[in-house]
Amino acid sequence: MPFPKMPPIAGVQMATARAGFYKHERDDLLVMTFPEGASCAGVFTRHGVGSAPVDWCKRHLEMTKGEGVRALVVNAGCANSFTGRPGADAVRRVCSAAGKRFDCRQRDVMVASTGVIGVLLDDAKIVHRLPDAEHRLTGDGWANAARAIMTTDTFPKGAHAVADIDGVAVKISGICKGSGMIAPDMATMLAFVVTDAAISPAALQNLVSLYTRNTFNAVTVDGDRSTNDTLLLFATGQSGAPKISRAGDRRLADFRDKLEHVLMDLAQQLVRDGEGASKFIKVTVTGAESHASARKIARTVCESPLVKTAFAGEDANWGRIVMAVGRADEPVDRDSMSVRFGDLWAAQDGLVSPTYSEAKMSAYMKQPELEVTVDVGMGRGSASIWTCDLTKRYVEINGDYRS
């Protein structure tokens, strides 16, 4: 996908550098700085192992209540997860060095890492490159920033929108990375979104928590959650718009819509870049007992290897979808269930549809973007999850990941 045009956001500067976590020549370090008075909020993985960078951000955001964040340091190539006390010490040294470099406290520095799990972060590589990054800071570096945080991604991911707050135009821009190990629960998934709006940390946290549910938490590539999933939202307050202290403030109506749009755009790009993917698929479940039930059923369908390989083979094998629906362990009415591919009925009222056409189904399955709708006949709950197919290339990429 082409990288969008993303203008500078007032108050934020960024730079990339090569720290050397990869053998080949590429930037693998991103540094972003923010002005005094900036707000920050975050949503993180609930993975049982977690990582040292996630621990640091969660602890210090809780300590500062999201006020006073001045810098962000991100590295690709080493996740610094499952590295114990040495990993935590490495993060502390990075934040201490960044704090001295950018004239702030170490607790005012956020960090994120992505890459191989179980490898201790060589913090000296990052600290050594901070002076170079400081001298290269610019407000117009979104594309380079998105490239620097990539691992197995095949393209840099960005999204931008302009919203209105009380008659003042405010910008929202974000980047993310992720291609495999994607099934966020708040995939290795990192996302950083910045706005020049003036929004209190508490309101910012409410917004990012609310809109993560139907964006980043509604996509899956392979069902594997990362130890490092991190979504950070920063507000620089440099737009001139009035400061908003409540997420429900009516002046934020347009901003809320645009923020959700940016998050959804980024989340769907993760799926489009799923490792080895050739299909982008939306699965919608209707007629469920509740919204939560519909989400669970839809996710079970999306994460079934049999369903995903059928999509890869362009086979409208709706029996595999029914199988996945049934093993979600949610209430369904077998005799009322229906399955539709786009506008084509595969099954109705628990039986093969009388209008089923193998030729039309086969033609539909050749499209790069597909939609499947399943009605389970129990109630009014509905939900959509976005996913991709599972191809031989996925096995090749992950089989060769460390070699």
DSSP element (H, E) containing 16: strand 13-17
In 273-316, which residue ranges form alpha helices assigned H by DSSP? 291-302, 305-312
In 19-76, which residue ranges form alpha helices assigned H by DSSP? 52-64
Angle between helical axes of 52-64 and 84-101 (0-180°, round to 10): 50
Answer for the pair 320, 307: CB distance below 8 angstroms, yes or no.
yes
Helix (H, G, I), strand (E, B) or coil at 203: helix
For residues 9 and 139, give the distance between their C-alpha atoms in angstroms, rounded to a whole number. Answer: 7
* Catalytic annotation present for 230: no
Task: Annotate 108-167 with DSSP letters as a single string.
Answer: GEEEEEEEETT----HHHHHHHHHHHHHT-BSS-HHHHHHHT-SS-SS-EEEEEEEEETT
* Residue in 16, 152, 188, 286 annotated catalytic: 188
For residues 88 and 79, give the distance between their C-alpha atoms in angstroms, rounded to a whole number. Answer: 12
Angle between helical axes of 305-312 and 291-302 (0-180°, round to 10): 60
**Spatial CA neighbour of 384 closest among 210, 258, 268, 277:** 268
User: CA 82 → CA 55, 60, 122, 182, 226, distances in Å?
Assistant: 12, 20, 14, 19, 12
Indicate the length of the chain as a whole number.
403
User: CA 137 → CA 6, 31, 42, 62, 144, distances in Å?
Assistant: 16, 8, 24, 28, 12
Answer for the pair 19, 28: CB distance below 8 angstroms, yes or no.
yes
Answer for the pair 303, 290: CB distance below 8 angstroms, yes or no.
no
Q: List residues with catalytic annotation.
A: 188
